[in-house]
Every structure is written in structure tokens, then in C-alpha cells.
Chains A and B, each alone.
Chain A
Amino acid sequence: MGSITLDHVNKSFGGHAVIPDASLDIADGEFVVFVGPSGCGKSTLLRLIAGLEDTSSGTIRLDGVDVTDRGPAQRGLAMVFQSYALYPHMTVRQNIAFPLKMANVEKSLAERKVNDAARVLNLTDYLDRKPRALSGGQRQRVAIGRAIVREPKAFLFDEPLSNLDAALRVNMRLEITELHQQLKTTMVYVTHDQVEAMTMADRIVVLNAGRIEQFGTPIELYKRPANRFVAGFIGSPRMNFLEGAEAARYNAHAIGVRPEHISIAPAGGVWTGTVGVAEHLGSDTFLHVHVGNTLMTVRTEGENAFKHGDTVSLTPAPDRIYRFDRDGKTLNAPSLN
């Protein structure tokens, strides 16, 4: 079991509230991702759950039990750090066995658990090496191994993939998702990468300046963003925003259209502009189009003839236009299928 409840949690450093007031219910077995720009408080929130930071007020409950005043060692959670945080003076075997040693697990049982974890993570051949003799991906797997042997109530991941190169990151992303499907243990995962958030999460918490902007499934956040911040943060490339007269036509302070919801033609559309940069990815092409003073991104098929300097005409899908008020709140969720 591993449900996590935050009840009006506040964290302040010297009078400055990093987390003003966060309430959250994470169900047992859920994969929840905290996402937001750097400095939004997502790591602090995770560290509060871990017990590595003390709350200033509010309560944290694990499986309904108040653990606010318990130290990290007493919460029964496991954490994987961005820096891996392996013990450099211990072998891989000793690293993975460390939590079991701390819990006074009987030696032969501990050994079996370490071997099982090593097999699952493809580390069997490296058990007697020191961390410095491993690659980044292997180190990350050791860190995960150290977390899984003790069968924690929940796993906490603090940007675990950001030190890996792009190809490895995709692999590890799949491995962690697969691990979650196998173990069915609660996972809380912090990242600044919205692609990681969208692909891995059951539910996503979008944070901005210490506030929870929205908590929902990836598709909910994509289809029904609560406000302009979430609309801009979720989706890649990000949503285009227009203000002023164009927005006023839709009776809003600002409107937003995603790059994939704009069709492009040589003429006859709603907005006319000039192609600035065309990014060809093979499968798609991202066209950056200057419309007046606004730079709009349009996603089109991989092969198309538009190039720098072309005059083009853009048409938004009428049922995919998001409207925002002056405070950035979403005025409507467009009628979605």
C-alpha cells in the first residue's frame, strides 16, 4: 500500500513561501509526475514527501498515517536522485544491499533480494564493480536497484534522467514505466520535461511558483488546461497565444491554438504570415511563421514545400481554440470529442 496525502502543506524558507499551500491525493499504485519550470517547487514538494525537508505547516499522510514529524528513515519510502547518489566506496552489490543492511535483513535473504534486483536490472555482471566503473545508465539502474530491494511504500524520483544523453533517456523512461507496471507500487516522479510527464504519468501535477496549477491525466491537461500556464506548458511544440484585437474577436483576453490544430495553405486562411524557420524532423515539419508581431508555430506533415520567406495563410481548427481571461483562467474548454 502506498497512498500519499498532502493536506495544506506549506514550506517557507526565511519568510518566503516556496510552497504556499499544497493539497494533493495520490492513490495507491499511481504513477504521478510533478512537472513545472525550474524553481517551481517540484523538487521541494518531493523532498517534503521524502522527509528530507520539514514542512512549515500542514500534514503529510502515508496510507492515512500522519508522518509529518517522522524522519526520512521512518517513512518507508525510497528515492532515486538526479545525481544517482551512489556510495562511491561500496561495490554495486553493497550499494543495492545497503537499505537491507540498515533494516537488519537476514544475510541470505538480503543476498537473494540483491541478486533478484540485479537480474531484473541487468546488473548481474557488474555486482562487484565500484560505481565509478559504470556508465551513466548503469549507475542509474543501481540507484533504482537500491530503491526496489527494500520494497518501499512508494518510489520518489527526483529528475532521474536529466544526467543521461537523449537516447538513453528514452530507454530508461521505458524501463521505469515498465518497472511501474510490474511492481504496481506508487511512484512520484519529478521532471521539468513535459514529454517525460506526458508519456509516463497516470496523472500529472503541474506546478508554477509553488502552486499546483492543475492535477489530472495527461489527456485532461492537454485537452482541458485549467489556465494559460498549463496550456502553454503541456504540449510540444507549445501552444500559440494571441492577444489584443484577434482575441477580442473571440470575446477573450487571449486565445490559444496548438501547432497541430492549425492548417496551412498558400492563401485563403484566417491569418497571413511569412515563414521564418522550417524545422524538418522527417515525420513532421515545424514551421515558425511571423504573423504580424507574433511568431506562430505550425505542425505539418513531414514533406511539404514551404520554406523560409514564403507567404502562407493559417487557419485554426474552430473547435480547438482556447479562450483565456485577463488572469489567464480558461474561459471555455472547447467542445472536444
Chain B
Amino acid sequence: MAHAASTQRKIGMTILAWVVALLLFFPILYTLITSLKTEGEAAAGFSLIPSFTLESYRDVLALRDYFRPFSNSVIISVGSTLLALVLAVPAAWAMAFTPTPRTRDVLMWMLSTKMMPAAGVLVPMYLIFLYTGLLDTLFGLTLILTLVNLPIVVWMLYTYFKEIPVDILEAARMDGATLGKELVYVLLPMAVPGIASTLLLNVILAWNEAFWTLRLSTTNAAPLTAFIASFSAPQGQFLAKLSAASILAILPIVLLGWFSQRQLVRGLTFGAVK
């Protein structure tokens, strides 16, 4: 009896998991379906069966340059991630291995900046970018994405570093390692899984970031978020083209996520189970 009940329960949970997964995935699926319709079909109302035309993709790639915003996205997401890492490794090291009574507060303060509505500082940031000539530059966007994601990078690295027994770092010190060598030969190699998933997550977050990238870029530095937005025209929506542009913009990052999912899951649950 108990066996039958547990089987039933398993079937129920499996169905539930599929329903939830499908719900979460549906917007992306519908975007994909819409991108394979003609504009007429897309405007006609809800339908799950497209005519499988690649017309919108052809139009989108003919109308706008895809490569430039794509390479901009790569540069600013990878660049901001590397820059954040260079800043965050020493910070996380210090907080994880030589904590003070205020360490928790500092971490909370960093995280609290993520709770502030970005729109609140839009005007000052815009003016700073305007006066320093950073507006619509790749460097400017890299910088702003670094700042936006730095708290998360510090937090994640801090969590990973906390898992590394301090004994091992002390052993390195006893073995004659200077601080730099301790970081390079001992801490970083041991933290590779954590650092890798931090890198991946940050690239994804930076790739998807739209608020700042849309407002602080116009043409030269515009990444894929701007590429999508450019198909949303005031004189009427071209849903199929918008969908095709969206699919083209998210495709690289979905592929990245797909191939690195094992690493991502491992990184995000690192330390949860020991």
C-alpha cells in the first residue's frame, strides 16, 4: 500500500514539475513560434502553429546589423565580468579569511545597493557619463555593468571562499608562500568551480541587463538589448520581426547556459550540501 501511495505521489510530482517547467518556458517558446510566423499570422491572434517561415529572420538581418551589437554584448558582458572578478577576489578573500565584527554589515551594505531602484540614480549617472565622455562607449557600459553586478560577484565568491578550510591557507603560509603566491597557487585553484560559476552567472546577468545598456548607449556601443528594442517601433509593432530579433539576441546566452548548466547548478548549490 505504502509503495503504491509513494508511486502515485511520484507521478503527481512529476506532472506538477512538467507543468511548472512548461509555464516558465512558455514565453520563450511562444517567442520562437511567433518568430516563425508571417507578420499577418503574428497579428492575427493567439496560435501555436506557425507557417515555419524564416522571412522575419531574413528581414531582421537585412534591416539591421546583427554582428556589431552581438560583438558589443560579448565585449561588455565578458569585460565587466573580468573586471568585477579582479576587484571582487581580494575583497572576498579579505572578508572570508580575516573577518572583522563589521564584515557582515559591509556585505549587507553591498547587497543593499541591489535593492535600490536603478531609476533613482539614472539622472546623476547619465550626467556623469555625459560629462566624462563615457556615454555610448563600450568602456562606459563595461564600467556600469561591473558596478551593477559587483555586489553579487563579491557575495558569491565570499560564499565559495568560506568553504575553503583556513588551515590550508595557513599551511601555505607556513610553507613560505607570500600573499600573492597563496592566492595564485592555493586559493584560486581550489576555488575554480566557484569562480567558474560566478563568471558564467555574471556573463548571463550582464548579457541580459537592459536598463542601463539601453539608456547609456545609442549607436556605437549599443548591445543586443538595443538591437531588440530597435524593432519595437512607435508606429506599430511588427511582432514576428520583434520575436525573431529577440531569439537572435538570446540564442548565444541560451546556448552558453545549456552547455554550462552542470557547472552552473554545481556552482549555485556549492556549499549547500556537504
Question: Residue B177 contacts which of A51, A79, A102, A146 (CB distance < 8 angstroms)?
Answer: A102
Q: Across the interface, which residues of B come within 8 angstroms of A156, CB to CB? A: 174
Question: Are B165 and A85 in touch, CB under 8 angstroms?
Answer: yes
Q: Across the interface, which residues of A come within 8 angstroms of B108, CB to CB? A: none
**Closest approach, in angstroms, between the C-beta of B15 and any C-beta of chain A?**
40
* A83-B165, A83-B167, A85-B167 given; A50·B190 CB < 8 A: no
**Closest approach, in angstroms, between the C-beta of A144 and any C-beta of chain B?**
12
Question: Are B175 and A102 in touch, CB under 8 angstroms?
Answer: yes
Is residue A99 within 8 Å, beta carbon to beta carbon, of the partner chain?
yes
Question: Are B176 and A85 in touch, CB under 8 angstroms?
Answer: no
Q: Across the interface, which residues of B come within 8 angstroms of A50, CB to CB? A: 174
Question: Are A99 and B175 in touch, CB under 8 angstroms?
Answer: yes
Is residue B172 within 8 Å, beta carbon to beta carbon, of the partner chain?
yes
Interface residues of B in 146-191 (CB under 8 A from A): 165, 167-168, 170-178, 181, 185-186, 189-190
Which one of A70-78, A167-175, A220-228 is at the interface? A70-78
Question: Residue A73 contacts which of B167, B173, B189 (CB distance < 8 angstroms)?
Answer: B173
Q: Across the interface, which residues of A come within 8 angstroms of B174, CB to CB? A: 50, 52, 72-73, 77-79, 156
Q: Across the interface, which residues of A come within 8 angstroms of B186, CB to CB? A: 87
Question: Are A73 and B178 in touch, CB under 8 angstroms?
Answer: yes
**Closest approach, in angstroms, between the C-beta of A160 and any C-beta of chain B?**
12
Is residue A88 within 8 Å, beta carbon to beta carbon, of the partner chain?
yes
Per-residue B-contact encoding for A82-104, CB less than 8 Å = 1, 0 else: 11011111000000001101110
**Closest residue on chain B to residue A152 by CB atoms:** B174
Q: Across the interface, which residues of A come within 8 angstroms of B172, CB to CB? A: 87, 98
Question: Are A79 and B171 in touch, CB under 8 angstroms?
Answer: yes
Is residue A81 within 8 Å, beta carbon to beta carbon, of the partner chain?
yes
Distance of A87 Cα from B167 Cα, bound (Å):
10
Question: Are A89 and B190 in touch, CB under 8 angstroms?
Answer: yes
Question: Are B190 and A88 in touch, CB under 8 angstroms?
Answer: yes
Question: Are A52 and B168 in touch, CB under 8 angstroms?
Answer: no
Distance of A79 Cα from B173 Cα, bound (Å):
10
**Closest residue on chain B to residue A89 by CB atoms:** B189
Distance of A103 Cα from B178 Cα, bound (Å):
10
Distance of A204 Cα from B24 Cα, bound (Å):
67
Interface residues of A in 56-83 (CB under 8 A from B): 71-73, 77-79, 81-83
Question: Are A73 and B176 in touch, CB under 8 angstroms?
Answer: yes
Distance of A184 Cα from B175 Cα, bound (Å):
20
Question: Are A150 and B175 in touch, CB under 8 angstroms?
Answer: yes
User: Which residue, of B175, B177, B192, has the highest number of chain A Cβ atoms within 10 A?
Assistant: B175
Distance of A72 Cα from B192 Cα, bound (Å):
26
**Closest approach, in angstroms, between the C-beta of A272 and any C-beta of chain B?**
53
Question: Are B173 and A85 in touch, CB under 8 angstroms?
Answer: no
Q: Across the interface, which residues of A come within 8 angstroms of B165, CB to CB? A: 83, 85
Distance of A51 Cα from B176 Cα, bound (Å):
12
Question: Residue B173 contacts which of A72, A86, A87 (CB distance < 8 angstroms)?
Answer: A72
**Closest residue on chain A to residue B190 by CB atoms:** A89
Question: Residue B175 contacts which of A82, A83, A89, A98 (CB distance < 8 angstroms)?
Answer: A98
**Closest residue on chain A to residue B173 by CB atoms:** A72
Q: Across the interface, which residues of A come within 8 angstroms of B192, CB to CB? A: 89
Q: Across the interface, which residues of A come within 8 angstroms of B173, CB to CB? A: 51-52, 71-73
Question: Are B168 and A87 in touch, CB under 8 angstroms?
Answer: yes
Given contact pairs A87-B171, A101-B185, A102-B177, enumerate 11 new A-B contacts (beta carbons under 8 Å): A52-B174, A82-B167, A85-B170, A86-B171, A87-B172, A87-B185, A87-B186, A89-B189, A98-B172, A150-B176, A156-B174
Q: What are 15 A-B contacts defined by CB distance under 8 Å?
A: A52-B170, A72-B173, A81-B167, A81-B171, A85-B165, A85-B167, A86-B171, A87-B171, A87-B185, A89-B190, A99-B176, A102-B175, A102-B176, A102-B181, A150-B176
10 A-B pairs closest in CB distance: A102-B176, A85-B171, A99-B175, A85-B167, A79-B174, A72-B173, A89-B189, A73-B176, A85-B168, A83-B167
